[in-house]
Amino acid sequence: MELVDEGWQRADLHVHTSCSYDVPKSSVVHPQKLFEKAISKGMDHVTFTDHDTVQAFEMLGWKKEKLTPGVELSVTDMCNVGHTVHINVFEFDGEQFRDVHSIATKAHDIFMVIDFLKENDLLYMYNHPFWFAVGEKPNLLAVPELAKHFPVIEYNMQDLKQNNLFAMALAHRFGKGMAVTTDSHTGGIGAVYTMAKGDDFREYFNNISMGNYYLIMDQPIWKHITQELSAWIELVFSMDRQAGTEFSTGVSLLDRAVKFASNGKLAEHPHVNRFTMRSIQKLSTSGLPFFLYMLSKRSQISEIESIMNFY
């Protein structure tokens, strides 16, 4: 409270709404609902960073008080990088979004995207540098070099702690700012946030980039991930059946399971539906899925550690 009294502001800079393709369609994650929730949790700035879409701002209005336009751009640059890079961009208008989205999806050149962001004086940060899309074989050597081109690097509560520590080391090594985010796909906006001074969003973000910030985290990453997974399961089982076909996790096996859970057949048997949901939630919160995920990443973490020793 003392920092707030001294002019420090709060924001969760990576949040997804029902407008993202990989968010279960539910009123819980509707942009208006999330905006109200963020304000009630004391966020001074609210932004939504859906995947390659600005639909949330078309719904709420681009100039809504306390709302800052944002988007998570996916740039698959196999030439310069070798894998897909995720960037959050803020404070743009509709025309600027269309231009940068076109560069990202047609040119597939991360440096062309960054040049456009700089030329247009837009704010941007490097999302989860050591998290990679399923099925991609990342070029780990490219990550530290790419980090040099970003003013802010993300500490993502949906990624492994070790990966975030590597990201923090990059920020420290190259004198970059860092922002902690929920990256929530289930309505968990504001569970963690970054504090910095600023009379407006731009000043707030620029203070982060200059290293004048605090990362506010309430509990360990593994708890955030297990809670997010549990909430995600509940949303899937209560998902709007009319919009269910628009949802995809990007993993075909998981998509088939989601389709089964949301096709309406289970809903005809509420007791079975509830029992199935609770059973899956119990498994997800047991820690076993998280443990197995950690094991699957051990080899990659060792590779990253070897690379980070050079920095």
Q: What are 51-104's pLDDT values in tens digits?
A: 999 999 999 999 999 999 999 999 999 999 999 999 999 999 999 999 999 999
DSSP letter (8 states) at residue 90? E
Q: Which residues, 6+ apart, have CB-to-CB distance to 208 below 8 Å?
A: 152, 177, 178, 179, 194, 196
Task: Judge whether residue 150 has pLDDT over 90.
Answer: yes
Q: How many CA atoms lie within 13 A of 150 on its CB side?
A: 30
Confidence of residue 285 (pLDDT cuts 50, 70, 90): low
Q: Which residues, 6+ apart, have CB-to-CB distance to 155 below 8 Å?
A: 164, 167, 168, 178, 179, 180, 181, 215
C-beta separation of 89 from 70 below 8 A = yes
pLDDT tens column, 178-188: 999 999 999 99
Alpha helices in the chain (DSSP H): 2-5, 31-40, 55-60, 94-102, 110-119, 142-147, 161-174, 201-209, 221-237, 252-262, 270-285, 288-296, 298-308
* Cα–Cα distance for residue pair 209/207, rounded to 1 Å: 5
Q: Helix crossing, 288-296 with 298-308: angle to 10°?
A: 50
Closest CA to 293 of 263, 251, 255: 251
C-beta separation of 160 from 305 below 8 A = no
Average pLDDT score over the chain = 89
Query: What Å distances lie between residue 206 and 90, 198, 200, 290, CA to CA?
Result: 12, 8, 10, 35
C-beta separation of 175 from 211 below 8 A = yes
User: What pLDDT sits at residue 166?
Assistant: 97
- Could you give the residue range(s) of every CATH 3.20.20.140 domain in the chain? 2-220
pTM for the predicted model, two decimal places: 0.88
Confidence of residue 245 (pLDDT cuts 50, 70, 90): very low
C-beta separation of 294 from 130 below 8 A = no
User: What pLDDT sits at residue 7?
Assistant: 84
Task: Judge whether residue 244 has pLDDT over 50.
Answer: no
C-beta separation of 215 from 191 below 8 A = no
Bridge pairing between strands 8-11 and 214-216: unpaired
* Cα–Cα distance for residue pair 13/156, rounded to 1 Å: 10
Task: Judge whether residue 149 has pLDDT over 90.
Answer: yes
Chain position carrying tokens 């998280």: 290
User: What pLDDT sits at residue 252?
Assistant: 56
pLDDT tens column, 8-46: 999 999 999 999 999 988 999 999 999 999 999 999 999
Considering only residues 302 and 252, tell me which one the structure prediction assigns the higher pLDDT: 302
In the CATH hierarchy, which fold is given to the domain comprising 2-220?
TIM Barrel (3.20.20)
Phi and psi (nearest 5°) for 86?
A: -110, 130
